[in-house]
Amino acid sequence: MLEILSTLSKSSEPLQHAVIFLFNGAEENILQASHGFITQHEWAKSIRAFINLEAAGVGGKELVFQTGPENPWLVQAYVSAAEHPFASVVAQEIFQSGIIPADTDFRIYRDFGNIPGIDLAFIENGYIYHTKYDTSDRILTDSIQRAGDNILAVLKYLATSDKLAKSFEYRHGNVVFFDILGLFVLAYPARVGTIMNYIIAAIAFIYLSKKILQPKTKVNNMKKFFTAFGLTLLSWLSTLVTVLIVAVFISLIGRSLSWYSHFYVSMSLYGTAATAKLILVHTLAKKFYYKNMNDQYLGDVFFDASLMFWAIALTVLTQIGLCSAFICTLWVAFPLFTKLMIHKEFRQKGKNLFLFFHFHDVLKIVTLALAM
């Protein structure tokens, strides 16, 4: 904040709007400083938007984990201006659900000031955060530089924006936003996402009903499909139990947050256990229940069972109104469309091929475990 303040003060570029730098104290004491400013200070009523800087770690990429409320133009401003954007609506909905026992000044500005904003936080190496090891020498200078580049660019964008003066006129609906492999952020209105989600779910249900409800083999197909569906759910449930057992064991040996040091530690610790359990359940099912079934047909049945689950999840999450439903959209759309295209191509050559993706199942289990 001091470096950005210094840079702006020396810049010859004119700003259309004033910028207030607020250095808060008493954050851990029920966010008193931010509450006092936004409810009592004479400048508070002139504020149209804010950028809140947080930390849940000591480095890495700063993540946009809260936006709004209902100001999609702010997300678009961040996506357009930030040099290294990194954001996720999943993080926003998880944080605002109350699963994570934490709070930030963002809520104070939003609820008491009725002001839209962006909430960013460092999330890497949270294992030492707020401990005696949380010292200045462990702060990564490249992370500070990255955050400075992003915030300065977004701040200049907002301070020269015509929308900022009439921000309340652009308050309509939520926005779905997520990064693509850390390269860029994709953002679109939630209402567009809702339409797209329902269309993709409908295509999946039409595809499944056409395959399962064939007149000559209807009963047999339904029996095999629902058996595979049940085994798939059983594999996920047993995998979740396994991951939770690992979590309990880690807690008992006094390393309950060891996975929080780096992302690859959590993936190695819980991802390995989840993958091994999934493989074990499906291997046992194939050995004792599907002894003489063709591997290609077996993969096709389990693909359909998994597709059905995610299509149902996509429909339910969209109906609830969660923007995070885009994850199910990806897990339904890409496997299904790839399968349809490849099946059409090979059918013309008199061959048949299927694609079966289970990696997203592992990620789902690990995500649930880490959130808990």
Looking at the annotation, which residues are catalytic? 27
275 is written with which tokens?
A: 């993958």
Residues 6+ apart with CB under 8 A from 188: 175, 176
What DSSP line would sit under 144-192, residue for residue? HHHHHHHHHHHHHHHHT-SGGGGGGGG--S-EEEEEETTTEEEEEEHHH
Strands 184-189 and 59-68: what pairing?
A: unpaired
Query: Is residue 273 packed enough to be buried (19+ CB in 10 Å), middle (13-18) or exposed (0-12)?
Result: buried
Token pair 């885009």 in the structure block, residue: 326
Strands 117-124 and 50-55: what pairing?
A: parallel
Taking CA atoms, 62 is separated from 101, 197, 274, in Å, by 20, 29, 28
**Under DSSP, is residue 307 helix (H, G, I), strand (E, B) or coil?**
helix
Which among 277, 321, 6 is positioned nearest to 173, based on CA atoms? Answer: 321
Q: Let me know how long the chain is.
A: 372
Q: Give me the sheet containing 59-68, strands edge to edge.
A: 50-55, 117-124, 59-68
What DSSP line would sit under 189-211, residue for residue? EHHHHHHHHHHHHHHHHHHHHHH
